[in-house]
Structure 1
Amino acid sequence: MRVGLICPYSFDAYGGVQLHVRDLAEELIRRGHDVSVMAPAEDSTPVPDYVVPSGGSVAIPYNGSVARLTFGPVVGGRVRRWVGDGRFDLLHLHEPFIPSLSMLALWVADGPVVGTFHTSMERSRALRAISPVVGPMLEKVSGRIAVSSEARRTLVQHLGGDAVVVPNGVYADHFADAEPDPRWSATPGRPTVAFLGRLDEPRKGLPVLAAAIPEVLTLVPGARFLVAGRGDASEERALLARHGDAVTFLGGISDEEKRRLFRSVDVYVAPQTGGESFGIVLVEAMAAGALVVASDIPAFQAVLEQGAHGRLFRRGDPRSLARTLVEVLTHPQDAAPLRSSASTAVRRYDWSVVTTQILHVYDMVMQTARTPVREDPRSRTMYGRIRAAAERPWV
């Protein structure tokens, strides 16, 4: 099968969706499929051979984060050529309602289309405003996938329709087999706790962790906190400087370093305050054998199955986080059953399982398709296409 994958977010700076698209493409290729990925990326950005860069992107605040997107007539022409030249049996668009490559591809293509929805949000004026336009366009998506129940809820609530839930994937063995790093490993009397996330995105929860650390160090003075991630954290650094080497800022780390970090530490802490649709980083830490302590946002409750595979604390509450960390650091024997159940649970998220589920959706869509993907003749006048969609009745 020849599959065209579209990622709306730039490969210049990897995030969860980019990693999902990359790993899915490589797993499909490993299974013998012919795959081409189109994604925003500068010409100078190193990308895999199967990725076709669409050019630079613009940083836009979105859902408590910053999304790097691309749009416009020049990019639209590139998408049109990629679709026309690709002779794809099926297009798989990620976040097709985001104004970037996926939406452009949805406009210009006709034929078998699968869409994956990653976003989770409580309310969105922007989504409600564009739903009369985007809703009819999404009717071209024959198979819909949501990466979690939260992502499915967002789709149903804001755009209508429904989706089958297929989670994000992880190569579990890559984390389970990683070599621990002595710099990050615990020693007698010195347990280690790791945080990984964008330091300058408040929703990732670093301020919550920073406020909890002093209380933890008062009760567990030997604890070490390893803070990894890109972005400015001047306020947190200043707050925690008095604790010396008990708190270490690692900066950005590579994929290999991430695996070794999770394999080395006793606890991985996820203090996110919201905006998460899944929680792939929790699954990665679980696969590596770290005990996960996470905020009780719905996405994390689902991954940890209400605390069956890790510990939960009240979101946004530093004292609740501190108490939970003190409990797990002072009673390490209680973590063994949680780690054991977590190592079993993560197997359902392995790419060997997830890709098979995605291929089932592909098969369902292909069974109802009459022709391969081709250019939609209505797309030649893009603004006319938008106007027609807006005028079309939609419920």
Structure 2
Amino acid sequence: MRVGIVCPYSFDAPGGVQFHVRDLAEELIRRGHTVSVLAPAEESTPVPEYVVSSGKTVAIPYNGSVARLNFGPVVGARVRRWVEQGDFDLLHLHEPFLPSLSMLALWAADGPVVGTFHTSMERSRGLQAISPIVVPMLEKLTARIAVSAEARRTLVQHLGGDAVIVPNGVYVDRFADAPKDPGWVGTDERPTIAFLGRLDEPRKGLPILADAVAPVLAEFPGARFLIAGRGDATEERELLARHGDSVTFLGGISDAEKASLFASVDVYVAPQTGGESFGIVLVEAMSGGALVVAADIPAFQAVLDDGALGRLFHRGDAASLARTLVEVLGRREANAVLRERAAAAVRRYDWGTVTSQVLAVYDLVLSTAHAPVREDPRSRTMFGRIRAAAQGGDRPWG
């Protein structure tokens, strides 16, 4: 099967969606399929050989973070050329409602198209404003996938329709078999607690963790907090500097180092305040053997099975986080049950299982397809069709 996958976000600053696209592409290739991924990337950015760059991006604030996207007539021409030359049996577009490559590919393509929705958000005026344009266009999707119940809720709430849930994937054994780093391994006297995330994104929750450090150290003076991630966090660094070597900022870490971190530490903390549709890092941490302590946002509650696979604390409440960490650190042997239960549960997210579920969707789509993917000639007048849709005229794809 020839599959074209479109990633809207730049490979210059990889995140959850980019890693999802990369791993899915490589698993499909491993199974004998031919895959081409279209994604934004600078010329100097190293990308896998199956990735075709669509060029430079623009940073746009989105859902509490910053998305690097590219869009416009020049990019649209590149997308149409990629679609026409790809001779794909099927297209798989990620986040097709964003003004990005995926939306352009949806305009450009005619044939079997699958869309995957990753985003979770509350009511969005922006999405409501563009829904008269986006909803008719989304009817071109032959099938829809949501990576979680939260992503499905966002799709249904904002754009209508429905989707089958196929979760994000993890190569579980890469984390389970990762070597421990002696410098990160905790002991009874010096347990280790890790955080990983963008330090300058408030929704990742570093300020909440920072406020919880002192109460934890009051009960466990030997505890060590390992904080990994890119971004400036001047205020938190200054606040935590008074704790000396009890807090270590690791900076950005590689995939291998991340796996080693999760295999080494006693506890992984996820203090995010919202905007998460799944919680792939929780699955990675559980795969590595770390006990997860996470905020009780819906996505994390789902991954932790409402506390059966880890511990939950009240979102945004540093005192609740501190109490939970103190309880966890005080019952190290009892936590072994949670770890064993989590290690078994994460197998459902292994890429071997997840890719089979994605392929089942592909098979269903292709069973009803009458022709492979081709360029849709109507895409060449897309801006006129957008205007017509926005003004309540003819539907762009009716």
Same fold (TM over 0.5): yes
CA distance, structure 2, for counterparts of residue 392 and residue 22 of structure 1 = 37
Runs of 4+ in 1 over 6 A off after TM superposition: none
Q: Which residue of 2 aligns with 1:83?
A: 83
Q: Tell me, what secondary structure is at the counterpart of 1:333?
A: coil
Shift of 1:393: 6.2
Q: Which residue of 2 aligns with 1:180?
A: 180
| 1:208-247 mapped onto 2 (5 Å cutoff) | 208-247=208-247
CA distance, structure 2, for counterparts of residue 308 and residue 279 of structure 1 = 16
| 1:61-80 mapped onto 2 (5 Å cutoff) | 61-80=61-80
CA distance, structure 2, for counterparts of residue 222 and residue 354 of structure 1 = 40
Q: Which residue of 2 aligns with 1:197?
A: 197
| 1:334-373 mapped onto 2 (5 Å cutoff) | 334-373=334-373
CA contact (8 A) 1:137 1:389 kept: no
CA distance, structure 2, for counterparts of residue 178 and residue 154 of structure 1 = 35
CA distance, structure 2, for counterparts of residue 392 and residue 288 of structure 1 = 53
CA distance, structure 2, for counterparts of residue 233 and residue 68 of structure 1 = 21
- Compared with structure 1, are the counterparts of its residues 333 and 187 closer, same or farther at alpha carbon in structure 2 (3 Å cutoff)? closer
Unaligned runs of at least 5 residues, structure 1: none
Q: Which residue of 1 aligns with 2:259?
A: 259
| 1:264-303 mapped onto 2 (5 Å cutoff) | 264-303=264-303
1:190-241 deviation line (CA, Å, top 9, x unaligned): 0000000000000000000000001100111110000000000100000010
CA contact (8 A) 1:328 1:335 kept: yes
Q: Which residue of 2 aligns with 1:381?
A: 381
1:367-391 deviation line (CA, Å, top 9, x unaligned): 1111000011111112123134432
CA distance, structure 1, for counterparts of residue 187 and residue 262 of structure 2 = 15
- Compared with structure 1, are the counterparts of its residues 46 and 384 closer, same or farther at alpha carbon in structure 2 (3 Å cutoff)? same
Q: Which amino acid letter does the alignment assign opposite residue 160 of structure 1?
A: G
Q: Which amino acid letter does the alignment assign opposite residue 224 of structure 2?
A: R
CA distance, structure 2, for counterparts of residue 186 and residue 296 of structure 1 = 25
Q: Which amino acid letter does the alignment assign opposite residue 241 of structure 1?
A: A
Q: Which residue of 1 aligns with 2:110?
A: 110
| Matched pairs, number | 394
Q: Which residue of 2 aligns with 1:47?
A: 47
RMSD of aligned C-alpha atoms? 0.9
Q: Which residue of 1 aligns with 2:325?
A: 325
CA contact (8 A) 2:119 2:276 kept: yes
Q: Tell me, what secondary structure is at the counterpart of 1:241?
A: helix
CA distance, structure 1, for counterparts of residue 386 and residue 134 of structure 2 = 9
Unaligned runs of at least 5 residues, structure 2: none
Q: Tell me, what secondary structure is at the counterpart of 1:381?
A: helix
| 1:18-57 mapped onto 2 (5 Å cutoff) | 18-57=18-57
Q: Which residue of 2 aligns with 1:16?
A: 16
Q: Which amino acid letter does the alignment assign opposite residue 328 of structure 1?
A: V
Q: Which amino acid letter does the alignment assign opposite residue 2 of structure 1?
A: R
Q: Tell me, what secondary structure is at the counterpart of 2:3?
A: strand
- Counting aligned pairs with the same residue, the percent is 78
CA distance, structure 1, for counterparts of residue 7 and residue 228 of structure 2 = 25
- Compared with structure 1, are the counterparts of its residues 89 and 388 closer, same or farther at alpha carbon in structure 2 (3 Å cutoff)? farther
CA distance, structure 1, for counterparts of residue 190 and residue 136 of structure 2 = 57
So what's the TM-score if we normalise by structure 2? 0.98
1:320-356 deviation line (CA, Å, top 9, x unaligned): 0000000001111121111011001000000000000
Shift of 1:392: 4.0
CA contact (8 A) 2:175 2:287 kept: yes
1:302-323 deviation line (CA, Å, top 9, x unaligned): 0000000000000000000000
CA contact (8 A) 1:114 1:145 kept: yes
Shift of 1:165: 0.3
Q: Which amino acid letter does the alignment assign opposite residue 211 of structure 1?
A: D
CA distance, structure 1, for counterparts of residue 366 and residue 386 of structure 2 = 27
Q: Which residue of 2 aligns with 1:120?
A: 120
Shift of 1:166: 0.3
CA contact (8 A) 2:388 2:395 kept: no
Q: Tell me, what secondary structure is at the counterpart of 1:128?
A: helix
CA distance, structure 2, for counterparts of residue 81 and residue 252 of structure 1 = 36
CA contact (8 A) 2:385 2:395 kept: no
CA distance, structure 2, for counterparts of residue 154 and residue 392 of structure 1 = 26
Q: Tell me, what secondary structure is at the counterpart of 1:312?
A: strand
CA distance, structure 2, for counterparts of residue 382 and residue 203 of structure 1 = 36
Q: Tell me, what secondary structure is at the counterpart of 1:12?
A: coil
Q: Which amino acid letter does the alignment assign opposite residue 96 of structure 2?
A: P
Q: Which amino acid letter does the alignment assign opposite residue 190 of structure 1?
A: R
Q: Tell me, what secondary structure is at the counterpart of 1:275?
A: coil
Q: Tell me, what secondary structure is at the counterpart of 1:44?
A: coil
CA distance, structure 2, for counterparts of residue 139 and residue 389 of structure 1 = 13
CA contact (8 A) 1:107 1:385 kept: no
Q: Tell me, what secondary structure is at the counterpart of 2:36?
A: strand
Q: Tell me, what secondary structure is at the counterpart of 2:81?
A: helix
Shift of 1:188: 3.7
Q: Which amino acid letter does the alignment assign opposite residue 73 of structure 1?
A: P
